[in-house]
């Protein structure tokens, strides 16, 4: 009970992830604008995206342990954590030159699709059930649709459009996550079963 | 021969202008993000609980989403953008 009282509200966790995605999105957008050759001139920038992806995969484990309330939630967050760590590790290997086959970049669209599916399967209510339900549906489809950008960028790594699209997915995802609320209406709709709305 | 030189010179000028545009775009990312956060704070001031901290618990005082957005924009502008632009300029000089 005491441990539960010490836990932050779930919406706050969404906002912290949103902040991480916003930082990542801005950096990836800058990378798309100047091109990978200029961006990779400094080692810390070259490792930034893979490290953050790997770290966010690690952080998904405590989210799985402390913020899930059903088997479906546990499976969704667990698979999510694994693919994010896989993509981060593959990108780290590529950045370090330990991995040479560019097809390892395909772990990123895989992580997008699995993450999107995780968003969708652990939201069992309809789009307009509550704000939280809407956010989960929107974020899920955004990631599944957004997977096309890292997929195409694997084959055309210098493309401004594909790299900017990849960055934009993170910025839009951050915006969507910032809109998350534990119990709040969406477009005037809130199921009476969702609970009492607050601020 | 002279037309080749002229074409190369024109291409270099266009390339330089594009690079300047790229530097400007990178330098604008942070301020635009911070402005978006500021606009959010003005439109939804109740999201910044520090403005009315009475009765707020620890987590609600820690979570200030509009201020997070402003901070991300300012930090990007101060810590990331200058190095990226410097490297862009260096590439142009080479």
Identify the residue with better confidence: B7 or A189: A189
Query: If pLDDT is split at 50, 70 and 90, which confidence band does A29 have?
Result: very high
Instruction: State whether residue A3 sits within 8 Å of chain B by CB.
Output: no
**Whether B29 and A45 lie within 8 Å, measured CB to CB:** no
| Distance of residue A127 Cα from the nearest chain B Cα, in angstroms | 24
**How many CA atoms, within 13 angstroms, populate the side-chain half-sphere of residue A33?**
24
The Cα–Cα gap between A171 and A127 comes to 21
Q: CB burial class (10 A; 0-12, 13-18, 19+) of residue B61?
A: exposed
Chain A, 91 to 110: residues with Cβ < 8 Å from chain B are none
The Cα–Cα gap between B77 and B80 comes to 6
| Distance of residue B2 Cα from the nearest chain A Cα, in angstroms | 32
The pTM for the full model equals 0.87
Identify the residue with better confidence: A44 or A182: A44
Q: Count the neighbouring beta carbons within 10 Å of the beta carbon of residue A93.
A: 16
The Cα–Cα gap between A117 and A131 comes to 19
Query: If pLDDT is split at 50, 70 and 90, which confidence band does B4 have?
Result: low
């Amino acid at each position: 009970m005491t441990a539960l009282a010490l836990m932050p509200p779930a919406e706050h966790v969404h906002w912290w992830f949103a902040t991480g995605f916003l930082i990542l999105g801005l950096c990836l957008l800058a990378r798309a604008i100047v091109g990978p050759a200029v961006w990779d001139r400094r080692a810390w920038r070259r490792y930034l995206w893979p490290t953050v992806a790997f770290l966010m995969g690690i952080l998904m484990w405590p989210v799985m342990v402390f913020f899930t309330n059903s088997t479906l939630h546990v499976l969704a967050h667990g698979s999510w954590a694994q693919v994010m760590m896989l993509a981060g590790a593959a990108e780290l290997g590529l950045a370090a030159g330990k991995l040479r086959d560019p097809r390892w970049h395909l772990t990123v669209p895989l992580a997008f699709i699995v993450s999107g599916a995780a968003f969708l399967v652990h939201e069992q209510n309809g789009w307009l059930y509550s704000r939280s339900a809407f956010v989960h549906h929107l974020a899920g489809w955004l990631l599944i649709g957004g997977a096309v950008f890292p997929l195409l960028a694997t084959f055309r790594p210098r493309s401004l459009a594909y790299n900017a699209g990849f960055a934009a997915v993170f910025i839009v995802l951050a915006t969507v996550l910032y809109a998350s609320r534990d119990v709040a209406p969406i477009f005037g709709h809130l199921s009476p079963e969702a609970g009492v709305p607050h601020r | 021969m002279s037309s080749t030189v002229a074409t190369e010179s024109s291409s270099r000028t266009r390339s330089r202008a594009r690079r300047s545009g790229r530097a400007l775009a990178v330098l604008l990312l942070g301020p635009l993000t911070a402005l978006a956060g500021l606009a959010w704070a003005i439109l939804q001031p109740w999201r910044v609980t520090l403005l009315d901290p009475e009765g707020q618990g620890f987590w609600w005082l820690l979570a200030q989403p509009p201020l997070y957005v402003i901070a991300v924009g300012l930090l990007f502008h101060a810590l990331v953008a200058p190095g990226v632009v410097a490297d862009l300029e260096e590439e142009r000089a080479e």
